Amino acid sequence: MEISKKLAKDIIRAEAEAISLGYPVNGAWINKIEHLSELCQGQARTHIAFIGTEMLAKAVNRDVDLYAIKPTHSAGNPRAYSARSLCHSVLVPLAADIGFNIGVTGREPLNNQPYFRMTHLGDGTPVHPMSAPAFHYMMGLVDELQQMESENEAKDALRAFIAVRQRYQPRYRASSALVTVKPETLAPVIRQFVQQDSESGRRAQAVVAGLMDTVAGIDRVESGGIHDPSRNSPGDVCIRDATQLGVWEKAFEVRDKPVSMSDVQIFGQKCVDMGVREAAVVMVSDRQAQLDEAHLEQWASHFGIGLTLFYGWHSIVDQVLFWSGTPKPEAAILAVELIYNRLIAIETSETGVAMWQGLTTRKF
């Protein structure tokens, strides 16, 4: 079944406008989406994008089979539809445009597990134990959607979905302030910021991505989502080759917990497998032990790759400020601004972003 993407977009915009105009929102569905949202905090957030896609499909055509989400695996079922295509082409861009959170920020939410491996919904594909409660609750909502006899019922559910998830959309305050960080204070400020709350590694990863932006430019640096199983890059932060399309020049693994020798080797092996010749591990835990660098360098040399270990923030910050194309004072200011952008991109909490602003700027 071909789900009209134009109609789907029109429906989302109409329901979002109805919310803004104060039209009523179905209270029962508000409660259901709120409960699912609570269950999906952490590793289960892909289920948010999926239920939104299912609601949208049903709102477009009441006859859709919400379990037959991959037409290539549903031969002979004229009611099957491509959930992945509808999510990618309609839900993702409209969520960004209108401003409601669908749980994940990637362009292909349904490339994540368990949906990536499914042939159809309910085929027994294993679900991570931590996300099982959310998945099973969501399945109950899909069952309810499937039983609906009209598109209008599904639109009611979709309106509630948008209304609830608008409240989950981060709203960051624009900063009109003067950066106060100097080259010698940047590393201590970063350390304080990350130690206050790692946010499951988000803060450290955003900082390293911003630092690499300072050196290599934002067009060459890629930083995926935290625990993103669909990520196809070798490290948490990667730099693309400036001259060869599709080639990674450097890859960084960012850890705010102690790193072992085997952790470094596993990451290095991944870089080898993906053709990356320069690998670096940024280790910022205060409990980090000194590793046998001579042994690791010998190991890396055997595979023909370069391996660099950064202990704490001072070492990597000093390198970034030195190799930046601008004088150190200007580079420090630029780094603060680029880190701020990365904090937002990786969905750091509003509290975290505000703290970064407070540590690095002062009002005029």
Give the residue-averaged pLDDT of 25-32. Answer: 96
Distances (CA, A) of 302 to 280, 296, 298: 16, 10, 6
270: pLDDT confidence band, cut at 50, 70 and 90? very high
Give the residue-averaged pLDDT of 333-358. Answer: 92
Question: What b-and-e string marks burial along 139-168, b requiring 16 or more CB atoms within 10 Å of the CB?
Answer: bebbeebeebeebebbbbbbbbbbbbbbeb
Residue corresponding to tokens 């896609």? 53
Looking from the CA of 172 toward its CB, the CA atoms found within 13 Å total 20
pLDDT tens readout for residues 197-246 = 999 899 999 999 999 999 999 989 998 766 554 357 889 999 999 888 88
Cα 49 to Cα 254: distance, rounded to the nearest angstrom: 27
Give domain limits for the chain: 5-166, 177-363
Distances (CA, A) of 126 to 113, 117, 143, 227: 9, 9, 19, 18
Please state the pTM of the whole predicted model: 0.64
The domain 177-363 having CATH identifier 3.40.1350: the answer here is: yes
pLDDT of residue 172: 63
CA-wise closest residue to 205 among 281, 306, 291? 281
CA-wise closest residue to 140 among 26, 25, 36? 36
Give the residue-averaged pLDDT of 51-77. Answer: 95
Give the residue-averaged pLDDT of 1-26. Answer: 95
Distances (CA, A) of 65 to 57, 81, 142, 154, 165: 9, 7, 10, 13, 25
pLDDT of residue 14: 97
DSSP helix/strand/coil, 269: helix
22: pLDDT confidence band, cut at 50, 70 and 90? very high
pLDDT tens readout for residues 82-106 = 999 999 999 999 998 888 999 887 7
Cis ω for the linkage preceding 327 (within 30 of 0): no
pLDDT tens readout for residues 150-204 = 999 999 999 999 999 998 887 765 555 688 899 999 999 999 999 999 998 999 9
Check: CB of residue 15 under 8 Å from CB of residue 155: yes
Q: Which residues pair with 97 in a beta bridge?
A: none
* Amino acid residing at 24: P
Burial of 75 (0-12, 13-18, 19+ CB in 10 A): exposed
pLDDT at 314 exceeding the cut of 90: yes
**Alpha helix stretches (DSSP H) within 274-311:** 293-303
Cα 155 to Cα 14: distance, rounded to the nearest angstrom: 10
pLDDT above 90 covers a percentage of the chain that reads 74
Average pLDDT, the chain: 91
CA-wise closest residue to 11 among 80, 64, 58, 65? 58
Q: Which tokens is 158 given?
A: 């979709």
